[in-house]
Homo-oligomer: A and B are copies of this chain.
Amino acid sequence: MDFTFHMPVQIFSGEGCLKDKGERLRALGRRCLIVTSAHAAKASGALDDAMEVLEAAGVTATVFPGIGANPLLSQCQVAAFTAETCRSDFILGIGGGSVMDASKAAAWLAANGSTQGYELMAGALRRPALPLVLVGTTAGTGSEVSATAVLTLDRERRKQSITNPECYARYVFADPRYTHSTSRETTVCTALDAFSHAAEGWFAPGCGNVITAFGERALAMVSGGLYWLTANPGLPDPAMREQLYYGSLWAGMVLNACGTAFPHPLGYILTEEYSLPHGAACAVFLPAFLRRAEEQEPRRAEQFYALCGGRERVLAMLEALTPRLDVTMTKEKIDGYRPRWTGLKNFARTPGGFTPDEAAEVFRSLFLR
């Protein structure tokens, strides 16, 4: 089976993997902007570790803690402006998917001028991005290993993604301990996000030989973690945290190679309008996606369920972990989404294809009252 493969990110994993990398970071420059969110980086312990390593290596670090969930393009521009002002040589992003995506945008903007938001979204910046280092604190997004950043446009309040090799991190430090402080709700939602990446990618046309190998690992590891979360009310132990985190990285590699299918763009709407966390929002549409996949790709679906411990188990887990939604929509409101569903690559990657009509039908079946 033919394939393409590109994964230029250099990943270090394991407890304390950041500790001895001061020289490596210093080689990227003398001044670093740490892009992060108000709480997560501190609570996880990653910010303290990073500050210590940077200081010991003689790198001056400035902390920009202004990134929130579903980051606005304007927040990234402010981060880039800060990097320009501090003459930062490289960007260190510490956080979950929102922070890492914003760090990618900031690193590319900072090298080109923080005002160039439009050019960023069009992938039309001239100069290469500042070197980017990422430290993840949630087990879900896979942003560590992707060339994609999902930002929210300020005026439209609409999520839009850019995918460009300039968004690849130079180094990723994947220390599962930094995920230990995430709440149960975040743990569940981010694990569902990772599962969506692996599931949607598994059925994508581009999922060749090697990515299938990543997918096998991702599905087994992440589904195992989700079953634990289904059966237990508390928080995972360190071994299960590690399984979920590393699983999310393999899922991220699947996502990066194969892209996502219809659950992702449909999920964006629930996040934008009903503030549903991203992973949960995608999971709402996974049962419909899997039904489609079973019809169109029965053999691949059989492998998928075998890797995840069986069809009934997957569906029961999704039922148990997806939050109850109190969302109702009118037919007119649903029809209003059709323009944004036209020409979506995510629809084309769905097994058998997927049309705006079919998306509207899925919405009607779930939300029309």
Range, interface on chain A: 20 to 34
A209: Cβ under 8 A from any B Cβ: yes
Please tell me if A324 contacts chain B, counting CB pairs below 8 Å.
no
Give A271 Cβ to nearest chain B Cβ, in Å.
30
Cα of A2 to Cα of B250 in the assembled complex, Å:
13
Query: A17 near B: Cβ within 8 Å?
Result: yes
How many Å lie between the Cα of A209 and that of B214 in the bound state? 10
Q: What residues of chain B lie closer than 8 Å to A17, measured between beta carbons?
A: 2
List residues of A (2-16) whose CB comes within 8 Å of B's CBs. 2-15
CB distance from A253 to the nearest CB of B (A): 8
Residues of chain B with a CB closer than 8 A to A246's CB = 1, 3, 209
A13 to B13, CA, bound (A): 29
Give which listed residue, B9, B13, B210, contacts A2 with CB less than 8 A. Answer: B13
* Pick from B3, B4, B11, B216: contact of A6, CB under 8 Å: B11
For A8, list chain B residues within 8 Å (CB): 7-8, 10
A306 contacts B by Cβ under 8 Å: no
Pick from B6, B10, B209, B217: contact of A210, CB below 8 A. Answer: B217
- CB pair B7 A3 closer than 8 Å: no
A5 to B14, Cβ gap below 8 A? no
Judge if A213 is at the interface, Cβ distance under 8 Å.
yes
| Mask of A239-257 contacts with B, CB within 8 angstroms, 1/0 | 0000000100010000000
> Which residue from B1, B15, B210 sits with its C-beta under 8 Å from A214?
B210
Cβ distance A11 to chain B, nearest Cβ, rounded Å? 4
Q: Which B residue's beta carbon lies closest to that of A168? A: B8
Name the one of B6, B13, B209 contacting A217, with C-beta atoms under 8 angstroms.
B209
Complexed CA–CA distance, A15 and B85 (Å): 50
Q: Cα distance A354–B358 when bound, in Å?
A: 63
- In the bound complex, what is the Cα–Cα distance between A14 and B3 (angstroms)? 7
CB neighbours (8 Å) of A13 from chain B are 2-4
In the complex, which residues of chain B have a beta carbon less than 8 angstroms from the beta carbon of A15? 2
Residues of B within 8 A of A216 (CB): 213
Contact of A14 among B2, B213, B214 (CB under 8 A): B2
Interchain nearest-CB distance for A196 vs B (Å): 20
What does the 1/0 interface line of A39-56 toward B look like (CB < 8 Å)? Answer: 000000000000000000
A182 to chain B, nearest CB (A): 20
Q: Note all chain B residues with C-beta closer than 8 A to A3.
A: 11, 13-14, 246
- The 0/1 profile, CB within 8 Å of B marked 1, for residues 153-196 of chain A is 00000000000000000000000000000000000000000000
Residues of chain B with a CB closer than 8 A to A250's CB: 209-210
What would 6 A/B residue contacts be, using CB atoms closer than 8 Å? Answer: A3-B11, A4-B13, A5-B9, A5-B10, A209-B217, A210-B250
